[in-house]
Structure 1
Amino acid sequence: MEVRELIENTWLEFDDVTRDCVLLDLNNFIEFKSMKEPSREGIAEKLYDHFEKVELKNKVNFNKLIKWYFKKINEILEYRIEDAEPKTHAQKYYERAISISKSKQVFFQDIVDYTRIMMTLYMEAIKNQTESISDFNLSKDWLDLDLILTNIREETIPLEGLNRRIHCFDTTDLYGYDSNILLILTLLLYKLNGEYKCQLKNVQF
């Protein structure tokens, strides 16, 4: 998969209202101050440039970054999925997501499907404050973008064999892996359900 597919299927497809909402979140990852009047095409070019810098700094291609995306998202969920016989509803879908992440060739729709499963599972963990997930709601309407993006930044994971936890994402480096995992996640969440949520935020009663 190439970065072009991500940008064309997310940012460039969003309507004007959604893009305004997305920009507020993208400000956490990309510097836009140098742009006098950010346009649809201008932001797209900025995203291309940003990911190019990420690839150069880390000496990886975009496919490697996507593999890292799969790995980091999995870290916040793997210890929460209940392991049972027969397999639970959550376990079956989680394994389906893991199967996607292990594919040799990944397409944009694969990443969307993976993100939908993992983030609806994550919503179950957040909403019910649980570390053991057996059932969940796969509906895109279940996704709360603000809640996910707020919680995931502070997410901690247990260290195996030690009675302590560490932060999963280090976002101090805008060109580091972790910051760009969350950037990709932000674009995908808006792709999944952001247009609907964004329109609701802008309804005038």
Structure 2
Amino acid sequence: MPIRTLLAAFLIATLVSIQSIHAVESQFGIAPQNSQLVVDETFDEPLDKKWHVNTGTWKVVDGVLQASEVAADNHAAAARRTVQTDNAVYQLRFKISDGTKAFHFGFDPAKGELDKKGHLFSVIVTPTGWRIMKHVDKNRRQEDPNEVLASSDVAVQTGKWHELRVTTWQNYVTATIDQTELKASHPTFGVKKPTLVFRCAGEGVEIDDVKVWSQRR
């Protein structure tokens, strides 16, 4: 095949991918095109078997999931909600308090997808700002450490509900909190993700209205 034809095909494929991302991102709060709703958590009932609590306290109170770190755990409060996704849109509401050090929403790589031990990446929120971080490979800490790929110093007000929306498309991630947007990419991001990972450092994170739209195959 001539090089010009190959180049044209590559440019068309790239344009289609970018247009797909924009189509997803432009529908804030609305179901993305060519997707199916695979998670719709309103916390009207206690956590079911799709949730696994690793550390800390996670409880449903008055229709809201509340999380707090437990000092004896010597670890941030952590819980996982099982759902396998690839290209997808994730949306939730959250509220941090004066006692919150950090709130994480992120992912693990599916088993066998990567030669890596540890989390894939997270959106990390603090009262003074937020960021997208690729997590360390615990088997190769020096060669592959934590890496902040994008960050914002816009304060995230405590005691107020905020909306987080994350789009994953192949190796690309777009995250929006209210009206602030961050974009990042990494070669490891385009893998299957078996769980949603929630973590709370400190006290007083509240979570509600968790929705996930997965790309329809």
TM-score by length of 1: 0.23
Larger strand fraction of residues: 2
Higher helix share: 1
TM-score (norm. length: structure 2): 0.22
